[in-house]
Structure formats: C-alpha cells, structure tokens
Structure 1
Amino acid sequence: MPRLASESVDDPSLKFALMIRDLNLALSRHGASDLQDLGLSQAQIPVLSVIGDLPGSTGLELAEATHTTPQAVSQVLCRLVDAGMVRREALGGRAMGHHLTESGAAATREARIRFARLADALLVDLSDDEQAVLLSSLGRVLDATVRLDAHETPVQDGAEDFRRNV
C-alpha cells in the first residue's frame, strides 16, 4: 500500500492536487506539536505573521492578506487577544488596528525558527538551486490561486494547459 495518496495516481492533474494535499498534511502533522508548545494553532501563524509585517492591520485587511474570511480572522484574533499575543487599537468608528505584543512577537519569531528547521528537514535532498526553483514555482502556483479567487482565470482552461505541459 502506498504511503502517500499521490503515489498511486497517474493522472497529472489529480497527482498534483494529491501531492499538495499530502504535503499539507505532512506539514500539519510535523508542525502541530511545535506550535502547540508555543500555545499557537496553524490558523494563528499567518495572522501573527501579517500583523508583524503590517502593524495596525484591520480584521478585513488580515482576512484579505491571509485569504480567509473576516469571520475566521475575527475568531483567531479573539483567541490571540485573550492569549495576550495581540493588542487592539481603536482606529475610529468600529475599525480596530492590531499589533503584536512582546509575547506575540516572541512566539512568531520562535514559530518561524521552528518552521525553518522543518523546511530544512523536508528540503534536505534538494540543492540550493532546486529549492529556489521549487519556491519560485510554488509562488507562481499560489499567484494563480489568487487569480482564481478573483475569477480572472477559468478553471477548465488551466486544467487543459496543465495536461498539455506534462
């Protein structure tokens, strides 16, 4: 029996989707305990990271930057505020800006260190050039997801292009 769902699939389109799923599951499995040690969840990491990069971000800005819904970000923010990792600042009206506390900044730094170790372990068999190509390629794939989210690229056209290029 194959270890990964993607190992036994020949269709390139399905194989791609299953490989991404397998990779996501592996990252979740191996990163979850490190995050729990820091008192964090996987949903909190992107929010903390964006707040660190863009202090004062509103909930809507955080939702857009993390490609999640405002409701999901609101729940994450409530937990982060309760944990003392994020503080809110009134911006006028109902808008609130969000800032990392020292605790939140420390947890974010430590999470980045731990994810760097995990990435090193996963990418150990790739040369520096191969790693650069992989990251560049994944970046372009993620850019395509943004276009799909904005309904700029029909899904069926992309699937045919993928099959022709494999």
Structure 2
Amino acid sequence: MTDDVQRLAQTIKRAQWRDHRALEAALASVGTTLVQWDALRAIAARPGASGHELAEATFMSDQAFASLAGRLLRQGLVERVPGHGRRLEHHLTESGRQTLERGSSVADTTLERLFAGLGADERRRLQRLLDRLLA
C-alpha cells in the first residue's frame, strides 16, 4: 500500500513539474514567467486584494509575494494603492491586463496540448477526484 501511495504522489508531482516547465517556456514567448502570470491572474480575480490574500492565492509566503509584487510594480504591470490601515490594494494596469491576456492564450494552448491524452470525460473525472482529495 505504501509503495502505491508514494508512486501516486510522485506521479502527481511529475505531472505538475511537466506542466510548469512547459508553461514557463510558453509564457517566455510573451515576455512573462509562470510566477508572474499566476500573480496577474490572482490580482485580476481579486481586484483590490491585499498582498497577504494574494500570497495565499498563489501559494507563496507573504514575503515572497511582496518581492514579486515589487517587481510587477516596477515593470508597470500592477499598481498598489493604500487601503484601510496599512493595507495595500493591488490592481492590474492596462499593461498588466494585456500581459495576462497574452499569457492566458498561450497557457490555454499549452495546457490543451498537455492534457490531450485525456478525453473530456476523463478530465472531468480527474478533476472530481482531485477536488475530493483536497476537500
């Protein structure tokens, strides 16, 4: 049993690693990285979110997200505005929206290719199983 569980965990990790490498290469063609694109997605989904909220959404520490947000700010992809108290709210700039759109197009194409070996029903089943595992 232990070997089966370890093999399953390793297979999931290998699939994630494959996806990340492919997405990183594809996103470079539009001038962004996987980490940057993921942060732009999180900000677009949560306009006005704090750095802490966005760190959680992107599976980063607060410190790592703050560093990334600083780079995105210097690149003109995001803006931070004061919120309540010490809170800084994050928003995409027009350039950030354009980068997100280009990146999303490339990511969709890449992910379709990576999951082409599974039919629509198999993808839905895999999604349900992973959702159940994480519940």
TM over 0.5: yes
Q: Aligned runs of 1:59-138 on 2, under 5 Å?
A: 59-138=51-130
SS of aligned partner of 1:11: helix
- Deviation of 1:64 after TM superposition, in Å, equals 2.0
What TM-score does the superposition give when structure 2 sets the normalisation length? 0.88
Q: Which residue of 1 aligns with 2:19?
A: 27
Find the aligned partners of 2:25 and 2:114 in 1 and give their Cα distance: 16
2:33 is paired with a residue of what secondary structure? coil
Aligned length: 134
Give me the whole-angstrom Cα distance separating, in 2, the residues matched to 1:56 and 1:66. 15
| Deviation by residue 1:24-44 (Cα, 9 ceiling, x = unmatched) | 221122111222223322222
Structure 2 unaligned spans of 5+:
none
Q: TM-score, normalised by structure 1?
A: 0.73
Match of 1:162 in 2: none
Dislocated runs of 4+, deviation >3 Å: none
Identity of aligned residues (%): 31
Is the alpha carbon distance of 1:140 and 1:47 closer, same or farther for their aligned partners in structure 2, counting shifts above 3 Å? farther
Aligned partner letter, 1:96 = L
Residue identity matched to 1:129: D
Q: Which protein, 1 or 2, shows the higher relative CO under an 8 Å CA cutoff with sep ≥ 6?
A: 2
Deviations 1:137-164 (A, max 9, x none): 22333x34xxxxxxxxxxxxxxxxxxxx
